[in-house]
Amino acid sequence: MGPMNIVGGHVALDLVNTVEPRVPGGTDGVDHLDTPDDLARWASRVAMLDGDEAERVRRAWADADGGASALAAALEIREAAYTVLLTQLGAVEDVGTALDVLVRHWRRAMGRSTLSLEPVEDTGDRLRVGVDPELLVPDRLAHATVTLLRTLDPRQLKACPLTEGGCGWLFLDRSRNGSRRWCSMEDCGARAKARRLTDRRRGARAARPASS
Ligand SMILES: [Zn+2]
């Protein structure tokens, strides 16, 4: 499988979209975050880590336990985020323990963060959040997820329509008239269009009277 599309418009949505297709309650989708390596590559791809950070994370995760526990935390955050976002979409009524899971990861992330001022060329000092490289990825994901949920305009949140052959991925529709339907027009949108065309042709053939 080639690299997955990044379409969510927010890193927390991109995290949710690492399962394909994304079906509420479904467990048979392809999981793109199968190993700590997958997670590190994905984090670089969505620009959550810069080159230096990616290298520090890679070294910290060279010990198998570090990578495995970071992956486990990231997946817990991912599934909790998905559940909460489904309630925003009205697809699920009860958040269950999802908020507790998020709060636990978020508190831990805040608790072990440090702040320092670092000089930036020409613009003066900038406040930088320091995190143990081993925990950098799950801690940033916890923070990003809470930030998204706090600031989300629910009218912008959409899911690529599963009932019409879409993939169920979540995205922010920032179009002015709220008309975005698909995760991407080149992917699910194009497939749906091709399917409609085939159906129409089939319909036309069926409607044609049989010639003798
Ligand atoms: Zn889709």
3-state secondary structure the chain: CCCCCCCCCCHHHHHHCCEECCCCCCCCCEECCCCHHHHHHHHHHCCCCCHHHHHHHHHHCCCHHHHHHHHHHHHHHHHHHHHHHHHHHCCCCCCCCHHHHHHHHHHHHHHCCEEEEEEECCCEEEEEEECCHHHHHHHHHHHHHHHHHHHCCHHHEEECCHHHCCCCCEEECCCCCCCCCCCCHHHHHHHHHHHHHHHHHHHHHHHCCCCC
Q: Do the domain assignments include residue 201?
A: no
For ligand 1, the distance from its centroid to the CA atom of residue 130, given in whole angstroms, is 36
For ligand 1, the distance from its centroid to the CA atom of residue 116, given in whole angstroms, is 41
Residue 64's domain comprises 11-152
Q: Do the domain assignments include residue 140?
A: yes
For ligand 1, the distance from its centroid to the CA atom of residue 59, given in whole angstroms, is 35
Residue 17 predicted with pLDDT over 50: yes
Per-residue pLDDT band for 83 (boundaries 50, 70, 90) equals very high
Q: How many domains does the chain have?
A: 1
Q: Do the domain assignments include residue 172?
A: no
Q: Do the domain assignments include residue 106?
A: yes
Q: State the pLDDT at residue 2.
A: 58
Per-residue pLDDT band for 42 (boundaries 50, 70, 90) equals very high
Q: Do the domain assignments include residue 25?
A: yes
For ligand 1, the distance from its centroid to the CA atom of residue 76, given in whole angstroms, is 23
For ligand 1, the distance from its centroid to the CA atom of residue 160, given in whole angstroms, is 5
Q: Do the domain assignments include residue 80?
A: yes
What are 153-204's pLDDT values in tens digits? 999 999 999 999 999 999 999 999 999 999 998 889 998 888 888 888 888 8
More confident residue, 86 or 198: 86
Q: Do the domain assignments include residue 204?
A: no
Q: What is the mean pLDDT of the chain?
A: 91
Q: Do the domain assignments include residue 211?
A: no
